Structure 1
Amino acid sequence: MMEQKIKHEDNLLFIGKKKYLIRLDQNKFTTEFGDFNLGALVGKAWGTKVKTHLGYEFIVVPPRLPDLMKKLKRAPQIITLKDAGIIAALTGLSKDDMVVEAGTGSGALTVYLAGIAKHIYTYEIRKDFYDIARTNFEKLGIKNITTKNKDITKGIDEGSIDLVALDMEFPEKAFKVAHKALKVGGYLVVFAPVIEQVSRFRNFLDEKHFANVETYECILRPWQIEPPDKSRPSGNFLAHTGFLTFARKI
């Protein structure tokens, strides 16, 4: 196996519990732990260690998607990774799947799903959000996303879709076009920040069109681990982000 070399692109530098996502296109990197020359790292192997002028040691590793997503420009509130992960898991999203999304926003969910699915077609009615999302996709170099500045309620151009994901104020307005675009057995997933929105949407669904309708809330709580006997749940965490409703076309 060929050894991967450090390039000028984004790199992740670790020191203790801290990490820095940087590009090696500048000479000097200054931190509270001291300075060092970034250019000297180019061409070396991942896992290379470098010391600052104060003697502190960093290790350089390749960034993963959750690291890179922190650099995305944001406009509206994004769908978090914990919710994106539940969508991928409960729909069984795979590398052969075609996905339609509405309510692109900043494109966080789009980016996550694009890392799994074959192609994502994402609809955003607001031109300012559409521009932000396109810039984010270009910055990350993602090729399997088609971004559309269109109102999805007016129609979905694609067919034989495996998953339609909606993050919009009135998802029931896209009910008919989503049903038409989906394959039999495909999933409709709706993200809603408030339960009233969920109730309104669920009242709109019927068993003639969709089955296995379920709504979930995903709460991810970190723990503070302090060996040998001071481990406890963290009191500082993001609890509610939204509700996810899943339904399968029949």
Structure 2
Amino acid sequence: MSEQQESHPNPIGATVRGAANRRGPFRSGERVQLMDETGKMTTITLVDGGEHHTHRGVLAHELLIGQPEGTVVSNTSGIQYQALRPLLKDFVLSMPRGAAVVYPKDSGQIVTMADVFPGARVVEAGVGSGALTISLLRAVGDEGHVHSFERREEFAEIARGNIETMFGGPHPAWELSLGDLAEELAAREEPGSVDRVILDMLAPWECLNAVATTLAPGGVVICYVATVPQLSRVAEAMRADGRFTEPEASETMVRGWHVEGLAVRPDHRMVAHTGFLIQSRRLVDGAPRLAPKRRASKSEYTEEDLQAWTPVALGERVVSDRKLRRAGRDAASLAEHAARAQREIDEQARADEGQVRDD
């Protein structure tokens, strides 16, 4: 073994949570994305002795278990399937959900705009189905800390299952608290100890005082809201608070393109508006907020205006208890399969380590 290799005894980073289960051959318990000859995508969970049934034949899971990514296999009818592990963007759009997920185009912007760095201390509310939490955990790494607040226990359990499915088990940097962030944050985090705060909730302006108390000077707060009235109200609340910089608002649109020879054109369909991002930073106590002078405009809200921000008026969908229970069971089942695959990885790593010692 060379000197360089000795200085990096674990070059593939198997001890980093979620790294080992993104490499190597397919294992029982893993999620696999299949694409058939027509381009149709299907995500399945591999199990010993399992089969994937369609009206066009049966594909035995044993044809994939132990094979490398990028393998092409045929079912009983000769239909070919290309097999790859789902990327993060694929996983969050196919995982069990109770609440709507933050789309990949928005979570990528949030991680970048908030400058979520390795080792950062991040607070998030609410956790929803865990899509954004996964991106935050990947950004902070094992040595960081993501503290998620969720008011609904059903959503929290679905998120827990999805996160453990992605990482092969509990993530060492994640802490989940049930309750209202506005009421619980000050009791659970020291003043000025948090680097970044991400608010994905109906009324983020209700949490700004708690956020300002725990956010370190220079820290970033980003709110993800769905409607123009929400965007307006949280911006004015940040200005009125006085402890934040002038807020910046944006939305992200991603349009795919069809590229085949000389036939190059935009896709006919796109995921356009999903939500607005509004960002600000914590000022040191006593510092004035510097902002360009604006023309006088209406910034006070009447009682009629306030009624526009009720859940019903904003179009919040009511998720049935039956759907939540089903999503919770699905998430727990996928997490159990992922844990089984992770145990196989750990057992192989221990066997390899023992073999090296024997040699």
**Fold conserved (TM > 0.5)?**
yes
- In structure 1, which of residues 149, 158, 164 is the aligned counterpart of residue 189 of structure 2? 158
- In structure 1, which of residues 185, 193, 202 is the aligned counterpart of residue 235 of structure 2? 202
Change (3 A) 1:30 1:233: same
Change (3 A) 1:46 1:225: closer
On the 8 A contact 2:70/2:82 being kept in 1, the answer is yes
Is residue 145 from structure 1 mapped to residue 179 from structure 2 by the alignment?
A: no
On the 8 A contact 1:27/1:37 being kept in 2, the answer is yes
- Quote the Cα distance in structure 1 between the aligned partners of 2:96 and 2:71: 30
Q: 1:93: which partner in 2?
A: 116
**RMSD across aligned positions (CA):** 2.2
Q: 2:68: which partner in 1?
A: 45
Change (3 A) 1:236 1:48: closer
- In structure 1, which of residues 121, 128, 135 is the aligned counterpart of residue 161 of structure 2? 135
**What secondary structure does 1:116 align onto?**
helix
Give the letter for the 1:214 counterpart: E
Q: 1:111: which partner in 2?
A: 134
Task: Give the superposition deviation at 1:100.
Answer: 0.4
The structure whose residues are more often helix, as a share, is: 2
Q: 2:268: which partner in 1?
A: 235
Task: Give the superposition deviation at 1:149.
Answer: 0.8
Gaps in structure 1 of 5+ consecutive residues: none
Task: Give the superposition deviation at 1:164.
Answer: 0.4
- Quote the Cα distance in structure 2 between the aligned partners of 1:68 and 1:21: 9
Q: 1:4: which partner in 2?
A: 24
Change (3 A) 1:136 1:220: same
- Quote the Cα distance in structure 2 between the aligned partners of 1:247 and 1:123: 20
CA deviations over 1:156-208 (Å, ceiling 9, x no partner): 11242121011122211111111121122111001111111111111112384
The structure whose residues are more often strand, as a share, is: 1
On the 8 A contact 1:212/1:247 being kept in 2, the answer is yes
Indicate the structure (1 or 2) with the bigger Cα radius of gyration: 2
Give the letter for the 1:189 counterpart: I
Change (3 A) 1:61 1:162: same
Task: Give the superposition deviation at 1:142.
Answer: 4.5
Q: 1:19: which partner in 2?
A: 41
Give the letter for the 1:219 counterpart: M
**Equivalent runs, 1:20-99 vs 2, <5 Å:** 20-25=42-47, 26-99=49-122
Change (3 A) 1:72 1:41: closer
Q: 2:251: which partner in 1?
A: 217
- Quote the Cα distance in structure 2 between the aligned partners of 1:146 and 1:178: 17
Q: Which moved more, 1:130-139 or 1:87-96?
A: 130-139
The structure 1 segments of at least 4 consecutive aligned residues displaced by more than 6 Å after TM superposition are none
Q: Which moved more, 1:143-152 or 1:231-240?
A: 231-240
Give the letter for the 1:15 counterpart: D
On the 8 A contact 2:101/2:128 being kept in 1, the answer is yes
Task: Give the superposition deviation at 1:33.
Answer: 4.7
Report how many aligned residue pairs link the two structures: 249
- In structure 2, which of residues 266, 281, 286 is the aligned counterpart of residue 248 of structure 1? 281
| % identity of equivalent residues | 29
Query: With CA pairs under 8 Å and 6+ residues apart, which has the higher RCO, 1 or 2?
Result: 2
- Quote the Cα distance in structure 1 between the aligned partners of 2:90 and 2:170: 15
